[in-house]
Amino acid sequence: MSQQKLSPSKMLILGFQHVFAMFGATVLVPTLTGLSVSVTLLFAGLGTLLFHLITGKKIPAFLGSSFAFLGGYAAVHALVDSRAAELGTTLNWIPYAGVGVLCAGLIYVLISALFRSFGASKVMRFFPPVVTGPIIICIGITLASSAVNNCAANWFIAIIAVAVVVIFNIWGKGMLKIIPILLGVIVSYVVAAVMGLVDLTPVKEAAWIGIPIKFDETVFSLFGHADGALILSSLIAMVPISLATIVEHIGDMCAISSTVGQNFIADPGLHRSLMGDGLATSLASLFGAPANTTYGENTGVLALTGVYDPRVVRIAAIIAAVFSFSPKFAALIYCMPTATIGGVSLILYGMISAVGVRNVVENHVDFTKSRNVIIAALIMSLALGINFSAAGAIAFSIGSVTISLSGLAVAALIGILLNAVLPGNDYQFGVDQQGDTSVNFKV
């Protein structure tokens, strides 16, 4: 949909839709780790705006909390608690984790500089559709289990959310057709409240206005009395994770490009998107917020609605940042039924996998070639097999710190490696249109 067709009021409503789409996953990270929900919202919004500024306001991407760093947060938390017990004092683990995430974000910036130096054609040779397609498919499938688990909280409410989204997306007219996610959330939320399934006590007790940032949770609180050993441990725990999330970032950029039908890998360039993601992550870490990443939920919204105007996403970012100063709003969203989140996520995550299938099909990946079959097979089996295994990740130790890599990260790294070493890799970015990176579907 062209930008000219969107009035300010329509863009505002669509912005709220993107906020509701990302909220469930974004607040889950601080909920699991103990970070502040309000600070997380603030820097999801500010990080998104920074990303758009750096990428020339061209990419309709929303940045939310990254799940990839959960293992690192847990490791740093345990190390800080152990150190505090040795010293017989109390230490806040959040600033130390922030130092590690800060440096992880700066790794993005370093890699961004390398990508700019070598050019997209040399970099994207390692990311043909036989690699990016299966990765995108697996991004959606691995997320789908969380959607089903959320639906299981109350399948009736989840089905209502799904039904509303489908009905309005297929048979809706005008504005109603492009806000199915927002309608699904509102209708199922209201039904759950009427049935007495929602406890709104936190909303009643929350203040209207509040400052989200707490100084003792910022990196600045360490100035003058930081523990050098803990800082080093945080770096060891956090920085290696960035290498895996950079690969995921490239997959996300391909997914957004595929959805929109524009080559964002070339323009504004992968070096710009990586820098935007990295600096947004570093900025968030300074103030006690989790690492940022481009959000698949919002890519799903793009695919479902067909509205790709980046201004809508920036409006969503402003909404998130403004409402981070309202504990009452945060509580209202926090009280959203789990099944509501599950219902809309079920569709959004499926849309991501569908984009991956489209990636492979419309770029005519030749599966009569054994190399392509092997690459795709290992990517999918590793991503899904590791993710749904008992351990849920591949763990290894560096000194006293345990590093965990998700199945998706391992699969992406193996896929890239195999594509580089197996014979028959004749892909050239921007030259071989039929085997391009999935970022141009105009066939």
Digit-by-digit pLDDT tens for the chain (443 residues) are 444 477 888 889 888 888 877 876 777 678 667 788 889 999 999 999 999 999 999 999 999 888 777 767 877 888 888 888 887 888 888 999 999 999 999 999 998 998 888 776 676 677 778 887 888 788 778 778 878 888 998 999 999 999 998 888 788 776 677 677 778 888 999 999 999 888 888 888 888 888 888 888 899 988 878 788 888 888 877 887 776 677 778 778 877 888 888 888 888 988 999 999 999 999 999 999 999 988 877 887 888 788 899 999 999 999 999 989 988 877 777 788 889 888 887 887 787 787 778 778 877 788 888 888 999 999 999 988 988 888 777 777 666 556 666 777 788 888 888 988 888 766 666 554 433 433 332 22
- The letter for the amino acid at 57 is K
Residues recorded for the chain:
443
CA distance 273 to 276: 5
Look at the block and give the residue holding tokens 């940042």.
321
CA angle 69, 55, 212 (to 5 degrees): 50
Residue 296 · residue 302 · CB < 8 Å: no
Q: How far is it between the farthest Cα atoms of the chain?
A: 67
Which tokens is 163 given? 């039904």
CA distance 260 to 309: 10
Residue 217 · residue 36 · CB < 8 Å: yes
Provide, for the chain, the percentages of residues in helix, strand and coil under a 3-state DSSP scheme, each rounded to the nearest 5.
Answer: 70, 5, 25
| Global pTM value | 0.71
